[in-house]
Structure 1
Amino acid sequence: MRPKDEGACSGDGMAGRIITVAQQKGGSGKTTLTANLAIALRRKGFTVAVLDTDPQGSLGRWFMERLQGVGEDGGLEFSTSSAWGASYEGEKLKRRFDVVLIDTPPKIESDLRPALRVADLVLVPVASSQVDLWATEGVLDLAAREKRPVMIVLNRTRPNTRLGAEVAAGAAALGVDVARAQLAHRVSYAESLGRGGAVAEGPAGPGRDEITALADEIMAQAGIEGAATIR
């Protein structure tokens, strides 16, 4: 799938890809992952819609900060829906955008199912804790029932620690794909998010490298073809 013309509805019949970010445990970094992936993909030339189904509204706050600090971008759109409306809204958005990223609430299974059902790929962020790893099994079961492909993303990792190694090994044992790129526990993620930004827009460094590498993996997994980078 190649990028659509910015700000225009696709008339060639090609639908975008829907990527759902889901984790039943709160505090796993779903919103941070969603926002940073949106900008990483946008910088590769794709039109991106972010759909917030979490009543907490953190993704919407990030987008408003972005409008004030960066300005409008016809190739990046924010939308909201209830958890139950995620399937309908996601299908609408993918007719106009190359990629739709759905940020989900940490809720019981009935609230997650519509967003999982419509996904071309389900991303499950797992922070460096055994509790996050345990919570992941419930999401994997739900995705399996909906026959959706899954990729685990190791998030807020602490490299070269025993706990980090144990969580990575536990994730690998769950029987689904685990992204090679890991997102480390970095202050830059929180700082950029609070300004409506993303690490992909920041100075060259390990944070930008890892989110770009993750975006490349997701593109390959979801069947999204490459594009020229926006500078």
Structure 2
Amino acid sequence: MTGKILVIAQQKGGSGKTTLAAHLAVAGLHVSGGGRVAILDIDPQGSLGQWYERRERRLGEGETGLLLRTASGWGAKREARILARDHDLVLIDMPPRSDMEARNAIEAADLVAVPVQPTPVDLWATVATLELVEKGGPPAILIVNRAPARAIAEATLAQLQKLPAPIAAGQLGNRVAFGATMGSGSTVLEAFPHSKAADEVRALAAELQRLLASQPAKAIR
């Protein structure tokens, strides 16, 4: 078997990459029909790893439903490909502002998800992120993250639409529950399964899963 590799990338810090990665990982356990999901943390800050450790303490070692690995530099691509051999889905949490790690991980990816908050600063950083993705080759998709309760301003949406990547239909709102559940190694899917936040995650995960399934298998792993 050869699983799909989804990279979460954004050159700007504070974009919600780790929160998105954790939620998509847990959602992937269900969307993939109970398949095996691995997470690869290559951010030196190790935020995804800290979330996973809290998850282990809450659920018990070996009971998280996920496998965690860490890597850096050229080892990120190698580790991602190894994990994809026996996992249905591999999620990679990228560090911000790190071209070397980005290029290595992106080369292994089937799809790159770029979280972007609807602000000018995030838009500027997203341009640089997409330039890195273009060098690596896989398709990218923009995910509007921490969207305000009201609709995105027309001007911001118009700028997003000019970027060389499609915008996901699914968006994640600016909801306290996302950050609150991360502190205990959980997600809104588990803590608030019937909430609007959980519905947003499930819809986005299903959309990304369809995109991943449509990508041709890599010639070399």
State the TM-score, normalizing by the size of structure 1: 0.86
Tell me the alpha carbon deviations over residues 61-91 of structure 1, each in whole angstroms, 9 at most, x when there is no partner. Answer: 1000001112233741011001331100000
Give the equivalent residue in structure 2 for 1:96.
86
Supply the AA of the counterpart residue of 2:170: A
Looking at structure 2, the residues matched to 190 and 43 of structure 1 have their Cα atoms a distance apart, in angstroms, of 21
Query: Structure 1 96/73 Cα, relative in aligned 2: closer, same or farther at 3 Å?
Result: farther
TM-align CA RMSD: 1.5
Q: Whose helix proportion is higher, 1 or 2?
A: 2
8 Å contact from structure 1 (residues 54, 83) kept in 2: no
Give the equivalent residue in structure 1 for 2:147.
157
Give the equivalent residue in structure 1 for 2:7.
20
Give the equivalent residue in structure 2 for 1:216.
206
Supply the AA of the counterpart residue of 1:142: L
Supply the AA of the counterpart residue of 1:37: L
List gaps (5 residues or longer) in structure 1.
1-13, 225-231
Residue range with higher mean Cα deviation, 148-157 or 77-86: 77-86
Give the equivalent residue in structure 1 for 2:164.
175
Give the equivalent residue in structure 2 for 1:141.
131
- The alignment partner of 2:146 has SS state of strand
Identity of aligned residues (%): 42
Matches within 5 A, 1:51-90: 51-71=40-60, 72-73=62-63, 75-90=65-80
Give the equivalent residue in structure 2 for 1:49.
38
Looking at structure 1, the residues matched to 203 and 151 of structure 2 have their Cα atoms a distance apart, in angstroms, of 22
State the TM-score, normalizing by the size of structure 2: 0.90
CA shift at 1:161, angstroms?
5.3
Q: Which runs of 4+ in 1 moved over 6 A?
A: none
CA shift at 1:108, angstroms?
3.3
CA shift at 1:176, angstroms?
1.2
Give the equivalent residue in structure 2 for 1:116.
106
8 Å contact from structure 1 (residues 31, 58) kept in 2: yes
- The alignment partner of 2:116 has SS state of strand
Query: Structure 1 208/215 Cα, relative in aligned 2: closer, same or farther at 3 Å?
Result: same
List gaps (5 residues or longer) in structure 2.
215-221
8 Å contact from structure 1 (residues 46, 75) kept in 2: no
- The alignment partner of 2:92 has SS state of strand
8 Å contact from structure 2 (residues 171, 204) kept in 1: yes
Supply the AA of the counterpart residue of 2:201: I
Looking at structure 2, the residues matched to 35 and 83 of structure 1 have their Cα atoms a distance apart, in angstroms, of 22
